């Protein structure tokens, strides 16, 4: 059999304790024994990253982002070294590296750095020497030689970017579910595993709450057309290939639903209805790097209007501060924030050529007496904001309405 260069990534729960590291190690060795060259990316063990963030907040509620990166990058360093030790114990050659050591070069933006390039010489040298190369995920080194991290879930990105840089034959993401499902299988018990999903569909699902793949990792896969194979670390079952085009001739219109409870709704009330106000509000928020998702401007009443938008919950304090300043400056009435919201989305490339999907989605929610507070659409998705306590119910009824429990994966 011809030897392949495979990049594999094992997520946090897959290396959550010693027993799991041992199992992952056996899996890696079985691939190596088939003559494959392996570069393995690992996440931090279990909830290590969350725990490190909690720890930092106990010391300083507003830690500097440089120091946060120094701290949270350590989780992956631990798991990569332990995995290398486990491989050594079994008599195979392996070497672990930090992102910095293997030349994953990023920009300077701590906690959300972008990869600029990957210097592959060192990895290639070790692979040629017959070693299994283990790379700590989620991290790199900035052009100023500072340690950076790549945003939450960033080990997915490390793996896909490495696969692209190395020209790998395969990029495999091992996680705690068997692949990409029509909905989060932990919430929707009869969700169906998909054999294939397009980059575009996966991008929409990921951006709308399906945490199984980091959005930026899918973007890199799409940009370089690197298929990503998502499968379970705990079973041998077939997973899901994320790829450019589906191999089927025709597809069901909706292919997945997603839920996020991580956003909050901000309303600036009684905003003067005149040109330039929206530009001012959103420019000021952009300057503070607050990512806005949905925006709704109500119908003007007596030359006044309300503007509502959603932001990630961890940006709410910053958003309120900026919005308050803007509201005072433009003579707006006041600000209301609502954290008790959820956003449900339906996604499918087939929507491009099919009408009536939005109507079906809204009718389904109405039939179940779920009020829609905000709506946004793209070519291949529809998202609705609902009350938080109705989010899971909304996901469930939409999953059924679009026949996703019966879809052929
Ligand atoms: P890892 O630690 O391996 O990176 P994550 O926790 O980041 O794993 O992602 C896996 C989780 O994503 C699953 O446990 C599942 O609950 C969740 N998930 C959300 N939406 C989906 C979906 N459509 N298909 C599969 N898993 C999903
Ligand atoms: N450990 C990092 C996180 O929890 C990166 C990852 O798991 O992909 O976000
Ligand atoms: Mg993840």
pLDDT digits (tens, 9 = 90+) for 88-125: 999 999 999 999 999 999 999 999 999 999 999 999 99
Asked, for residue 57, whether it belongs to a domain, the answer is yes
Pocket lining: 16 vs ligand 2, CB cutoff 6 Å? no
Asked, for residue 254, whether it belongs to a domain, the answer is no
pLDDT of residue 249: 64
Ligand 2 nearest-atom number relative to CA 214: 8
Asked, for residue 67, whether it belongs to a domain, the answer is yes
Pocket lining: 44 vs ligand 2, CB cutoff 6 Å? yes
Domain containing 45: what range? Answer: 5-176
Alpha carbon of 108 to ligand 1 centroid (Å)? 29
Sheet containing 147-149: give its strands across: 115-118, 104-106, 139-142, 147-149
By most ligand atoms within 8 Å of CB, the mutation choice from 49, 79, 175, 190 for ligand 1 is 175
| Structural domain count of the chain | 1
Asked, for residue 186, whether it belongs to a domain, the answer is no
The per-residue pLDDT for range 342-401, each reduced to its tens digit, is 999 999 988 888 889 999 999 999 999 999 999 999 999 999 999 999 999 999 999 999
Asked, for residue 19, whether it belongs to a domain, the answer is yes
Unique residue bearing structure tokens 């054999």: 195
Show Cβ contacts of residue 105 under 8 Å, excluding neighbours closer than 6 positions.
115, 116, 117, 118, 119, 140, 141, 142, 143
CATH number of domain containing 87: 3.40.1160.10
Asked, for residue 387, whether it belongs to a domain, the answer is no
pLDDT of residue 246: 83
């Amino acid at each position: 059999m011809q030897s392949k260069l495979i990049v594999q990534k094992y997520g946090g729960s897959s290396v959550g304790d010693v027993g799991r590291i041992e199992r992952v190690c056996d899996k890696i060795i079985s691939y190596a024994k088939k003559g494959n060259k392996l570069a393995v990316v690992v996440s931090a063990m279990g909830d290590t990253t969350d725990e490190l963030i909690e720890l930092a907040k106990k010391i300083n509620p507003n830690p500097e982002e440089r120091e946060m990166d120094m701290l949270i990058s350590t989780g992956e360093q631990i798991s990569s070294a332990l995995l290398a030790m486990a491989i050594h114990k079994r008599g195979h050659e392996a070497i672990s590296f930090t992102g910095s050591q293997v030349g994953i070069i990023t920009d300077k933006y701590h906690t959300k750095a972008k990869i600029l390039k990957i210097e592959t010489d060192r990895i290639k040298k070790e692979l040629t020497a017959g070693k299994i190369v283990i790379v700590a995920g989620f991290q790199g080194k900035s052009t100023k030689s500072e340690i950076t991290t790549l945003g939450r879930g960033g080990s997915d990105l490390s793996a896909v970017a490495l696969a692209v840089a190395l020209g790998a034959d395969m990029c495999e993401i091992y996680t705690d579910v068997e692949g990409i499902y029509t909905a989060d299988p932990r919430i929707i018990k009869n969700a169906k595993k998909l054999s294939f999903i397009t980059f575009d569909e996966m991008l929409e699902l990921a951006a709308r709450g399906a945490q199984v793949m980091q959005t930026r990792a899918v973007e890199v896969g799409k940009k370089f057309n690197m298929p990503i194979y998502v499968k379970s670390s705990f079973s041998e079952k077939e997973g899901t290939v994320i790829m450019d085009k589906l191999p089927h001739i025709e597809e069901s219109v909706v292919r997945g639903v997603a839920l996020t409870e991580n956003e909050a709704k901000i309303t600036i009330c009684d905003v003067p209805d005149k040109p330039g106000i929206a530009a001012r509000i959103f420019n000021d928020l952009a300057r503070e790097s607050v990512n806005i998702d949905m925006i709704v401007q109500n119908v003007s009443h007596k030359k006044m209007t309300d503007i509502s938008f959603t932001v990630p919950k961890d940006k709410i304090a910053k958003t309120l501060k900026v919005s308050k300043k803007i509201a005072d400056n433009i003579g707006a009435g006041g600000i209301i924030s609502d954290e008790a919201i959820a956003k449900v989305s339906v996604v499918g490339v087939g929507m491009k050529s099919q009408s009536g999907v939005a109507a079906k989605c809204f009718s389904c929610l109405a039939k179940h007496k779920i009020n829609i507070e905000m709506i946004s659409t793209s070519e291949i998705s529809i998202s609705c904001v609902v009350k938080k306590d109705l989010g899971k119910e909304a996901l469930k009824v939409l999953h059924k309405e679009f026949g996703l429990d019966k879809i052929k994966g």
